[in-house]
Amino acid sequence: MAGSSFVYPPPTDGKPFRLMMGLRTMPTEQWIETGDDLFAQLPQRTELIDKNRDIVFAQLPGFGNEVEQFARLIISNLKSHHQDFYQVVGDSKVIVKSTGFEVDVFADHPFIQLCKVIGEDLCLISKVADQWLLTSAVVVYPSRWRLQEKIGKNLDQIHQPVPGYETALQPAMSLTFDKLTSDRQVWRLNWALHSEPDLYQPTAIHLSQNPENYWWRTERQTLTKLAGTEHVLFTIRNRVEQLSQIHLNPIHALAFADTLKSMTPETVAYKGLTSDHQAIVDYLSGR
């Protein structure tokens, strides 16, 4: 996006907001994302995992083998595509080169260990009795939801609070998972506007802020199917960036304002913007 440094910029086509899967093919070398923001994130992620394990980690019994297989795929991916950021020793030790911090992935639950050295949160979604269920997960940076309330639920139950989900996404959600293949990884983007930069929000944090002090939060989400199984790894890579930098390109700011204006009151409320929505639209419109 010309005139800004967003990793994933706000929509700038001016089209009305709508829920959509928006899945795109992802090269395997882009499965795990590094970046300068990890230098601050990784120590915080480790601290949150150690102090709030019962909040950021949950699992159903019986899925350890699939967790291990996905963990080995991630280790292999780091070794093959991210040698500049990581050193992989043997088949289980991952070292962050810049700090020397290391984990033995299989010394604890593999997702817990991996989430201390990568920016992605990790969620295993498994097909059980014809339903796709959240069966094992580490979510260090929840965006206003609690993992303990989602574990063991199916896709529709997980997304039930999302306005418009029943008509826009529910008819295709399970079918989309059914059609995933192990030789095609996919990704999509989710976004929010927050009045504070905290990535760890099992419950909403709302501060009184002027629009120029709002934060653009993105979730880069990926889906990878384990070959020969009905198990999918869902990853979430979170970032926050200052919304104000969109003003470096007033045309893009105005287009994003048009998208925000199109939101239903229910969506505005769900995104926690009821009190500031109009002020943000005016700010982006240059008023």
pLDDT of residue 67: 98
Contact in structure between 176 and 21 (CB atoms under 8 Å):
yes
Q: What is the pLDDT of residues 22-32, one digit of tens each?
A: 999 999 999 99
pLDDT tens digits for range 5-14: 899 999 999 9
Residue ranges covered by each domain of the chain: 24-190+219-238
- Helix runs in the chain, H state only: 38-51, 53-56, 64-81, 110-114, 155-159, 165-168, 170-179, 250-261, 265-270, 277-284
Q: What is the pLDDT of residues 59-94, one digit of tens each?
A: 999 999 999 999 999 999 999 999 999 999 999 999
Kindly tell me if the per-residue pLDDT of 2 is higher than 80. no
> Count of CB atoms within 10 A of residue 256's CB?
25
* pTM attached to this predicted model: 0.96
